[in-house]
Amino acid sequence: MLNPTGNYIYQLADPDINFDWDTIEQVLISSNEVQACPICLSPPTAARVTKCGHVFCLPCILHYLELRENHKKLWRKCPICWDSIYEVDIKSVKITAGHSIKEGDLLDLALIQRAHNSTLAFPISDTWPLPENVISNYIKPDVPLIPWNNTPSAQAFARFMLASPDYLTAEYQRDCKELENALSDAIGWGSTEEIPFIEQSKKRVHEDIKRIRHQRTKEMELALSTLDMMFEAVAKYSKKHGKERAEPIQQQQRQEDIPEAYRQRQLQQSGGEDANKKQSKTQSNTSNDFYFYQAKEGQHVYLHPLDIRILKHEFGNYDRFPRQLQVQVTNVQESTLDEDLRKKCKYLSHLPLACDVTFLEINIKDIVSPETLQVFNNELNARVKRRRDKERREDEEKRYAENKQKLQLAKEQADERKRMENDPFFTIYQRPDDEEEQLARAMSESLATVSHSDENGPRTVWGTPQVVNREEELTMGQVNDWADHIVITKSKRKGRSKKH
């Protein structure tokens, strides 16, 4: 979602040109997983996205930035990727739920049309593609057609769009409600440290609402009303007269359906012959347009090119394709858009490089006739064979990796066993038969060593010198020193005879 006052002509022509971050008002994210704030681990409150692409609660990221060590710095490292985060770079974000696709799923696809000289690709409907006469009546020749947020299918399929003040105001009011709920919860839980940052977040959101209100000008109001009138006129014309087709034959058959006023206007501008030339030129331009099937929700999920060729053979012209298909998925191929893939699939040239895309192979037998299947029988069989070969290679690689891991584990165990065998410390345990002999030899060596050291000291029951602690040694020394001057003599006392 971009600021309407910016200039985006280059981005409209080249999908690989980035946007100035200051011109972005909101980022739309489609996620297959439930988003959670990395700081509080809860669904984001007044969700904000950083320049590095991580989503946080507005109070949480403000609290995190406030805890930086040096308050003179205006930035702090992202807690996820360590990229620099500035408070001024935090943008509003809107998260929509997606879903993963697997084999056997039923999926709704929409027929997309993209002009060969444009990057705008939307589902074919009563309002798309826009007839050239309608565009010329409502839009100046030098003004490019850039979708707004209220353009049909823009929020699901457009890479970028202009954000109206009403849309942004409604988004910020939603943030205010979430912050009010968070404030009441914080008061109820007694989380006093979070309350100041919730109040700071509310103040910031109110400032954004005031800023958006100042963007509302008469020129912007005129542009929005013109856009509404243009799509309303296209829808009414399509319902009343039927949609004009891109093929020349269809346009010739529907000449009587074109309003007389428009026919006369064309004749007055360039004359009958010039009008025919202009019509043939328009027909040649539209014949180069791209048609393909994409997931109805706008995810970058596309029908396999072979299946599109089969449908082309079945229905003849792209304008006869069903606008919507419900298909059964037989195989899912994940890929990333690079230069080679862009050359092979030119209808995806409106996507930027490094965009993740998914190609679906479907059960085409339920859609086309047996005659058409017979024409593409060899290619379908070859595709099935390639898929089976790929699955077999993946299984072989998996088994090879498992066997390699087992061999590595066995080698490590063998090395450990060899190390223990060569380590003298573990020798006694590796040779239990010699245990008694080694123990006897160790005892004899110990006794021999003791006999030379102290032959007269006290002995243990094993015959080794008894270890005397320091206290006993001092006590014995004191007793011996004190008794050195005492001489003990023995005298015999004469016994007294008893008189009977």
Give the C-alpha separation, 411 to 403, whole Å. Answer: 12
Please give the single-letter amino acid code of residue 199.
E
Domain hosting 71: range is: 9-31+33-97+117-241
CB atoms within 10 A of CB 435: 11
Place of tokens 């602690």: 469
Q: How far apart are CA 332 and CA 304, in angstroms?
A: 9
In which element (H, E) is residue 219 found? helix 218-241
pLDDT value of residue 277: 46
Q: What does the angle CA 370 – CA 371 – CA 372 come to, to the nearest 5 degrees?
A: 90
Instruction: Report the distance separating Cα 76 and Cα 56, nearest Å.
Output: 14
Distances (CA, A) of 217 to 63, 151, 165, 263: 36, 20, 10, 36
CA distances from 378 to 368, 373, 374, 375, 390 (A): 16, 9, 8, 8, 18
Place of tokens 């009343």: 240
Give the three-class secondary structure for 162.
strand
Amino acid at 467: V
Please name which of 157, 121, 165 lies closest in space to residue 26, comparing C-alpha atoms: 165
- Pairing status of strand 106-114 against strand 84-86: unpaired
Bridge partners (DSSP) of residue 29 are 95
The DSSP 8-state label assigned to residue 22 in this structure reads G
For the chain, the C-alpha Rg in angstroms (whole number) is 43
Whether 274 maps to a domain, the answer reads no
* Kind of pairing between the strands at 324-336 and 106-114: antiparallel
d(C-alpha 419, C-alpha 405), whole Å? 21
Question: Which has the closest alpha carbon to 259: 138, 141, 131, 129?
Answer: 131
Q: Is residue 315 part of a domain?
A: no
CATH number at residue 169: 3.30.40.10
CA atoms within 13 A on the CB side of 44: 23
Name the phi and psi angles at 400, rounded to 5: -60, -45
Burial track 363-397 (b if 16+ CB lie within 10 A, e otherwise): ebeebbeeebbeebeeebeebeeeeeeeeeeeeee
Q: Please, what's the b/e burial string for 199-214 (b: 16 or more CB within 10 A of its CB; e: otherwise)?
A: ebbbebbeebbeebee
Tokens standing for residue 289: 């347009």
Q: pLDDT at position 279, please?
A: 45
Q: Six-digit token pair at 183? A: 């404030």
10 Å CB burial of residue 92 (0-12, 13-18, 19+) is buried
Residue 370 resides in a domain: no
List the pLDDT tens digit at each of the 500 positions of the chain: 999 988 899 998 899 999 999 999 999 998 888 889 999 999 999 999 999 999 999 999 999 999 988 877 889 999 999 999 999 999 999 998 878 898 889 999 999 999 988 899 999 998 898 888 777 888 887 778 899 999 999 999 999 999 999 999 999 999 999 999 999 999 999 889 999 999 999 999 999 999 999 888 888 888 888 888 888 888 887 777 664 444 443 444 444 444 443 344 344 444 444 444 444 444 444 568 999 999 999 999 999 999 999 999 999 888 889 999 999 999 999 999 999 999 999 999 999 999 999 999 999 988 999 999 999 999 999 988 988 898 889 889 999 999 999 999 998 888 888 887 776 665 555 455 555 666 667 666 666 655 555 555 666 656 666 665 655 555 555 544 444 555 555 544 544 444 44
Q: Is residue 124 in a domain?
A: yes
Contacts of residue 421, Cβ cutoff 8 Å, sequence gap at least 6: 430
Residue 322 lies in a domain: no
How many structural domains are present in the chain?
1
